[in-house]
Amino acid sequence: MRVLTVNPGSSSVKLSVVEDGREVDRVTVGAASAAQARQPLAGLVVRRHPIDAAGVRFVHGGLSTDPVPLDHAETARLTALTPLAPLHQPLSLELAAVVAEIVPGPVYACFDTAFHARMPEAAAHYALPRSWVREHELRRYGFHGLSCASALRRTAELLDREPTGLRLVCCHIGAGVSVTAVRDGHGVDTSMGFTPLEGAVMATRSGSVDPGLLLYLLRSGVTDAAGLDDALDRGSGLAGMTGTGGDVRDVLTARDRGDPDARTAIEVYLHRLRREIGAMVASLDRLDALVFTGGVAEHQPALLAELCERLGVFGVRTDSGRLAAEGDREVGRAPGAVRVLVVSAREGLEIARQTTLAMAARAAGAGGPRDR
């Protein structure tokens, strides 16, 4: 079984071919654009012909719990969700259309929200008027689910445990940032909510902001709804606090030069991350491991050390040598302390896995992959 996987991110598009659970080819397109991805995608398909199916990452799948084949009705449903994930959903839709032109097999949508679909009501419910909640499906959906699923599976391998038996806090730290409590093989609480704006501070996204403050900005005429939407998604976070593009490397460089705004921005970034980690620990009955994944987690060991320095209250202790190493690894140092791991984000493998299971389930007449 050979699956083409398409993973649109905030700043790049990752393309890969996975054969029987092993990645055999990969291309990363530096700019997040369907037009720029077309030629590399076509070349990958020609080079690894034949492709049996394709899986495309969609940040928002609504209430869907399993991958679905993309047809006209499903594409229309996912298009309607664009306002809830404006940085990612349009690109996923454009890329899926390109893939459908190039790949003869079925194209599946794989959802970041699916990992969190079984969150308990206490974690998923907003304290809003019940008529609004019921009519508009207002709930905390959660995101980065494909990354969490991949990290869970890899952590289980490293610790020689069954995935469903682990209690984890999984931190995806990239341009987008989220923290998820994992129990019984799925998310039971998470920092992102109805949209990927809630929770921790990110590269260009604000994270959680007092809704009263936002109402004040609107009522005072500082901005309108469109301006607020753009500012919260594209002009806030590290970018907004520092006047940079929001890349954590640029902010760290500015901090090293003595820029006070950059220093404050990193302090806010780390503080909010620690706060979300604490909240997720409180959603579990025990903590087997704290797991870091995503580009920043993988490539900024000094920043990760800063983050973990103040997590000792949770039994977290890290080793600087292990943090500076490469590859999937444990980075904790104290016997009896919480296991701390850094693992590479393998969303492509998870997309291929879910696509393969979904195809098998449909062929067998079942609903979809339940073994997450």
Amino acid at 57: R
Helix (H) or strand (E) holding 29: strand 22-29
Give pLDDT, residue 333: 76
| Amino acid 9: pLDDT | 80
Q: Is the peptide bond before 50 cis (omega within 30 degrees of 0)?
A: yes
> 368 pLDDT exceeds 90?
no
Residue 352 has pLDDT above 90, yes or no: yes
List b or e across 139-168, with b for residues whose CB sees 16 or more CB atoms inside 10 angstroms: bbbbbbbbbbbbbbbbbbeebeeebeebbb
Q: Mean pLDDT lowest for which of 186-190, 258-262, 305-309, 330-334?
A: 330-334
DSSP H or E stretch at residue 19: strand 13-19
Give 18's Cβ-side CA count (13 Å radius): 25
pLDDT at position 372? 38
pLDDT for res 113: 97
Query: How many Cβ atoms sit within 10 Å of the Cβ of residue 193?
Result: 21
DSSP 164-222: GG--EEEEEESSSEEEEEEETTEEEEES--SSTTSSS--SS------HHHHHHHHHTTS
- Residue 370 pLDDT more than 80? no
DSSP 3-state assignment of 59? coil
Comparison of pLDDT for 307 and 363, the residue scoring more: 307
Mean pLDDT of the chain: 94
Of 347, 352, 346, 355, nearest to 70 by C-alpha is 355
pLDDT of residue 197: 96
- The answer, yes or no, to whether residue 371 has pLDDT greater than 50, is no
pTM of the predicted protein model: 0.93
Give the 3-state secondary structure of residue 232. helix
pLDDT digits (tens, 9 = 90+) for 125-169: 999 999 999 999 999 999 999 999 999 999 999 999 999 999 999
User: Among the options 66, 112, 233, 288, which is catalytic?
Assistant: 112
Q: Coil, strand or helix: which one is 9?
A: coil
- What are the tens digits of pLDDT across the range 50-83? 999 999 999 999 989 999 999 999 999 999 999 9
3 φ, ψ (degrees, to nearest 5): -120, 130
Q: What pLDDT sits at residue 302?
A: 97
Using the predicted structure, report yes or no on whether residue 10 has a pLDDT greater than 90. no
Residue 366 confidence class, pLDDT cut points 50, 70, 90: low
Give the pLDDT band (50/70/90) at residue 4: very high
pLDDT tens figures, 87-126: 889 999 999 999 999 998 999 999 999 999 999 999 999 9
Comparison of pLDDT for 180 and 34, the residue scoring more: 180
Read off the pLDDT of residues 252-304 as tens digits, 9 standing for 90 and up.
Answer: 999 999 999 999 999 999 999 999 999 999 999 999 999 999 999 999 999 99
Give the lowest-confidence range in 26-40, 187-201, 316-330, 339-353: 26-40
Instruction: Give me 148's structure tokens.
Output: 């969490």
Question: Does residue 229 carry a catalytic annotation?
Answer: no
Percentage of the chain lying above the pLDDT 90 cut: 89
Q: Are 63 and 104 in contact (CB under 8 A)?
A: no
